[in-house]
Structure 1
């Protein structure tokens, strides 16, 4: 008879196998993303080095958990539990950082100055990007339609069949004395941009906090199995599962 209850051991191994498979998938995705890492860094984007740390952690830690459960060694379980504590803390920190970054971005967009919007209007390339975004996202102006002054482009034109999808709050009349379409989008492009980015932030927050909870559950199961191993080694019987 093993030192650990069979049901708990099988459940623990099953979840670690699932995460080991997930780790293999993440390794494949990381390899594919590495091919574009130099282009991303050249454009001022973040390095993908830390993504490899996370990916390898997701792959290696479940393997360590499987080895600990199969060998039923207290030391290996302690090492695994220690990594779970570290992983849980890291995921909570990342989750909190994402929440703070989201709120900071929202405040920045809400308080965007005229100088900040002037760059999008006066620069030829950014102006083209903004107008393309206006057409696809059904919005007008960076902060408001007044960013265009008295020359509102056709990209701001609001048609009845386009209102309300996917982000537009509807149409409104163009400012008095301005040239351009009679009906323009009432939604600003900064509001649409925040909706998109906010969705990404929420996905990342859910990812971080979910992994923190899973790490906590793995930690509790490790502590339970360590207790069973100690009880067995001290001469007691392994804890029996209560059937319902």
Structure 2
């Protein structure tokens, strides 16, 4: 009598898929936690009451909220993916894949709408920048964001330097007692390579000069036009980033669905 035993080997959960999905999501989980922690820390530093009141103010955009929203979404998705894969929990895995699919669909829809309504988007971008120009001195994070944008894209205001008339500190009215009257922020200034120390007063009174003379001191092109030019010049890179993000999302959905199918197949043989 033979001592060999034949064992039936049923379906199994793929360890490669399981732990790859776990590793794939733990990175996003940690990144989401970091963004959320930075956002909450900045929110606490500014004061809870001031930030609650800023929610109702649609004129200004607070970058802290961007960190918090992105961080919260990444944290929730990463958590669902990690725990779902590790514990072989089909509910969490389905939540992960559906949520990720919804985000992918929203991104795709936004991309199509942005192409179809590009003129409307441009008008909204003008409005958005001008609203934030008005709130420039109200929030330090917003101020830093505008300064970064104007320096990076070598621009000033939405359409040009005169957009800074919208800000109470920079407008040219006779009633304005500010030393920055008829000026622009330092981030609008053309940088002198010979200067080692940043001159934060370089934009004072510059809009009192003739427009041709202003070009020697500040950027005279608007940020909307400069941003459009930057997009055209870097179209391949921008498109590559969007395609890469989309492929990562599709890959994550496929992994989660594959793992769900394996778990269901194993449970069906119990």
The alignment's TM-score, normalised by the length of structure 1, stands at 0.56
How has the CA–CA distance of structure 1 residues 230 and 67 changed in structure 2, closer, same or farther, with 3 Å as cutoff?
Answer: same
**Corresponding residue of 1:56:** 72
**Corresponding residue of 1:142:** none
**Corresponding residue of 2:191:** 136
How has the CA–CA distance of structure 1 residues 206 and 57 changed in structure 2, closer, same or farther, with 3 Å as cutoff?
Answer: farther
**Corresponding residue of 2:226:** 195
Query: Using the alignment, how far apart are the partners of 1:91 and 1:43 within structure 2?
Result: 23
Deviation at 1:7, TM superposition (A): 1.1
Listed as ranges, the matches of 1:155-166 within 5 Å are 156-157=215-216
How has the CA–CA distance of structure 1 residues 157 and 199 changed in structure 2, closer, same or farther, with 3 Å as cutoff?
Answer: closer
Query: Using the alignment, how far apart are the partners of 1:67 and 1:231 within structure 2?
Result: 20
Secondary structure class of the residue paired with 1:45: coil
Query: Using the alignment, how far apart are the partners of 2:211 and 2:259 within structure 1?
Result: 72
How has the CA–CA distance of structure 1 residues 190 and 75 changed in structure 2, closer, same or farther, with 3 Å as cutoff?
Answer: same
Matched positions, count? 199
Gaps of 5+ in 1: 139-146, 159-184, 237-244
Deviation at 1:54, TM superposition (A): 2.8
**Corresponding residue of 1:72:** 88
How has the CA–CA distance of structure 1 residues 134 and 56 changed in structure 2, closer, same or farther, with 3 Å as cutoff?
Answer: closer
**Corresponding residue of 2:104:** 88
**Corresponding residue of 2:268:** 234
Deviation at 1:85, TM superposition (A): 1.6
Q: 1:8 aligns with which of 17, 32, 52?
A: 17
How has the CA–CA distance of structure 1 residues 28 and 116 changed in structure 2, closer, same or farther, with 3 Å as cutoff?
Answer: closer
Deviation at 1:75, TM superposition (A): 2.8
Gaps of 5+ in 2: 1-9, 130-155, 194-207
Deviation at 1:25, TM superposition (A): 1.3
How has the CA–CA distance of structure 1 residues 45 and 13 changed in structure 2, closer, same or farther, with 3 Å as cutoff?
Answer: same
The alignment's TM-score, normalised by the length of structure 2, stands at 0.52
Secondary structure class of the residue paired with 1:190: coil
CA contact (8 A) 1:4 1:229 kept: yes
Q: 1:45 aligns with which of 53, 60, 67?
A: 60
Tell me if 1:30 matches 2:39.
yes
How has the CA–CA distance of structure 1 residues 98 and 49 changed in structure 2, closer, same or farther, with 3 Å as cutoff?
Answer: farther
Q: What is the root-mean-square deviation in Å for CA atoms of aligned residues?
A: 5.0
Deviation at 1:58, TM superposition (A): 0.8
